[in-house]
Amino acid sequence: MRYGRLTLAAAALLLTATASVPAGTPLSQTERHALASDAFEPRGAAPRPPVQRPTHEPPFGAFVGSWDNYIPQVGRYARWLGDANLQVGHTYLAGNGWADVEGEPVVLGMWSQWRLADPSRLLVLGVPMLVPNEANVPDGEVAKLLAQGARGDFDRHFLQLAHRLVALGGTDTVLTLGWEMNGVTYTHRCKPDPSAWKVYWRRIVGVMRSVPGQRFRFDFAPTRGLDAIPWTKCYPGDDVVDIIGMDSYDQPAGATFDDYVREPYGLQDQVEFAAKHGKPVSYPEWGLFRNGDNPEFVQRMVEWMRTHDTAYQTVTDYCPHGFFQCDRNPRSAARFKQLMSSSKGAPAVVPTAPQVPTAPIAPPVAPSPPKPPSLPGAASPAPSASPSPAASPAGAGTPARR
């Protein structure tokens, strides 16, 4: 969830069993089962996760901005953390039109070269499934667009993106495709037609995996808790998902970390679902929010990620969520720095090419790959305190849900 492109659900209210419930709202087990036929088994109060640091740090990084001129900020962040090994670069494609989804070659090229400079690095790319992706498109129109996607009307755009990533060196990029699909902010949301959404996801994965040389991984990343729809109803299948992600911010106001663990479709349900399906978990977006400067949340979130099968984690680092680019959270910044300083990171793991899904896909025409640009040597100007990652080349945007 983001400003402009990253937004967060409004403060959670306890609604009736048939209503849409914002993320982070605790529900009773009775309400939970009334809302979803595929609800998880009832569970008592979840204990704190065991705090046993593994042999290496789960790969971590931060979202610092989407455009290529934000790349030097990753190095500054690492130096702020005592030369920690920030292994994960997280960026997003804009969703204003299909040309955005196909990827700006210069931006993709710069981020891909950042990835290639160190074999232990990982590039995570947020990919919208529909456009315009933040235009308050009504549910009926979303359902029509999802049906078009399921028919293959938009295949060529994702094929172009895959060809560009491979040509530019981003062959092993992790794609958070249609992130926060269980919410209400984005046009690529699932609730208007979950069946079509799942078919469409499968088509996109099939198209992108058809490109020779790719080793993409696809991260199914809902927002934490029950939002507009249980995220399990949107899950498209084990053969087209590599990672079970979750965006987790410190909200609603007054909630505790234990609430985030035990809430329906929360952190405990995520790790149990992932284990059942043989997938690692991830936290592509996490950070502070409704409860202000909260070092307890930072401590518990880092402990949680370190004690579960976490493929990677990236904190959203701008106000009000982050630490390095936001001066509103001095106590949390100090705790984060204490926890993460001088981290050596994780050993490099090169994924193998995933199996192509079996869903039939019409063969599209391959576009000509672009020429990779050169990575500039000079640092660019520091970004503003609250960047919106991909709404415009300048990274500017207006706040939406958060």
Residue 155 has pLDDT above 50, yes or no: yes
Q: Are 130 and 188 in contact (CB under 8 A)?
A: yes
d(C-alpha 311, C-alpha 252), whole Å: 26
Domains for the chain: give ranges and CATH numbers.
Answer: 55-340 (3.20.20.80)
Residue 25 has pLDDT above 90, yes or no: no
Give the pLDDT confidence of 266-282 residue by residue, as tens digits: 999 999 999 999 999 99
Instruction: Round the average pLDDT of the chain to a whole number and report it.
Output: 81
Confidence of residue 54 (pLDDT cuts 50, 70, 90): low
Residue 12 has pLDDT above 60, yes or no: no
Give the pLDDT confidence of 332-372 residue by residue, as tens digits: 999 999 999 999 888 866 555 555 554 444 444 444 444 43
d(C-alpha 22, C-alpha 144), whole Å: 24
Residue 151: per-residue pLDDT: 98
- Stretch 80-109: mean pLDDT, rounded? 96
Q: Are 166 and 120 in contact (CB under 8 A)?
A: no
Residue 50 has pLDDT above 70, yes or no: no
Residue 245 has pLDDT above 70, yes or no: yes
* Residues paired with residue 174 on neighbouring β-strands, in sequence order: 124, 217
Residue 363: per-residue pLDDT: 43
Closest to 323 measured CA to CA, from 287, 285, 283, 284 = 287
Residue 9: per-residue pLDDT: 35
Q: How far from the centroid of its chain's Cα atoms is residue 230's Cα?
A: 17
Residue 314 has pLDDT above 90, yes or no: yes
Confidence of residue 36 (pLDDT cuts 50, 70, 90): very low
Confidence of residue 217 (pLDDT cuts 50, 70, 90): very high
Written in H, E and C, the secondary structure of the chain is CCCCCCCCCCCCCCCCCCCCCCCCCCCCHHHHHHHCCCCCCCCCCCCCCCCCCCCCCCCEEEECCCCHHHHHHHHHHHHHCCCCCCCEEEEECCCCCHHHHHCCHHHHHHHHHHHHCCCCCEEEEEECCCCCCCCCCCHHHHHHHHHHHHHCCCHHHHHHHHHHHHHHCCCCCEEEECCCCCCCCCCCCCCCCHHHHHHHHHHHHHHHHCCCCCCCEEEECCECCCCCCCHHHHCCCHHHCCEEECEEECCCCCCCHHHHHHCCCCHHHHHHHHHHCCCCEEEEEEECCCCCCCHHHHHHHHHHHHCCCEEEEEEECCCCCCCCCCCCCHHHHHHHHHHHCCCCCCCCCCCCCCCCCCCCCCCCCCCCCCCCCCCCCCCCCCCCCCCCCCCCCCCCCCCCCC
Residue 352: per-residue pLDDT: 57
Going from the C-alpha of 28 to that of each of 25, 225, 262, 267, 358, the distances in angstroms are 10, 13, 11, 16, 39
Residue 38: per-residue pLDDT: 53
Residue 3: per-residue pLDDT: 39
Those residues whose C-beta lies under 8 Å from the C-beta of residue 338, and which sit 6 or more positions away, are none
d(C-alpha 85, C-alpha 345), whole Å: 5
Max CA-CA distance within the chain?
58
Confidence of residue 264 (pLDDT cuts 50, 70, 90): very high
Q: Look at the alpha carbons of 188, 192, 194, 196 in this order and tell me if their dihedral is positive or negative.
A: negative
Q: Are 230 and 252 in contact (CB under 8 A)?
A: no
% of the chain surpassing 90 pLDDT: 70
Confidence of residue 66 (pLDDT cuts 50, 70, 90): confident
% of the chain surpassing 70 pLDDT: 73
Closest to 64 measured CA to CA, from 74, 78, 54 = 74
Residue 376: per-residue pLDDT: 33
Residue 261 has pLDDT above 70, yes or no: yes
Residue 402 has pLDDT above 70, yes or no: no
d(C-alpha 93, C-alpha 108), whole Å: 9
Q: Within 10 A of 319 (CB to CB), how many other CB atoms are there?
A: 17
- Stretch 105-128: mean pLDDT, rounded? 96
Those residues whose C-beta lies under 8 Å from the C-beta of residue 397, and which sit 6 or more positions away, are 3, 4, 5, 388, 391
Those residues whose C-beta lies under 8 Å from the C-beta of residue 13, and which sit 6 or more positions away, are 21, 22, 25
Residue 397 has pLDDT above 60, yes or no: no
Confidence of residue 198 (pLDDT cuts 50, 70, 90): very high
Confidence of residue 181 (pLDDT cuts 50, 70, 90): very high
Residue 132 has pLDDT above 90, yes or no: yes
d(C-alpha 399, C-alpha 194), whole Å: 28
Q: Are 287 and 321 in contact (CB under 8 A)?
A: yes
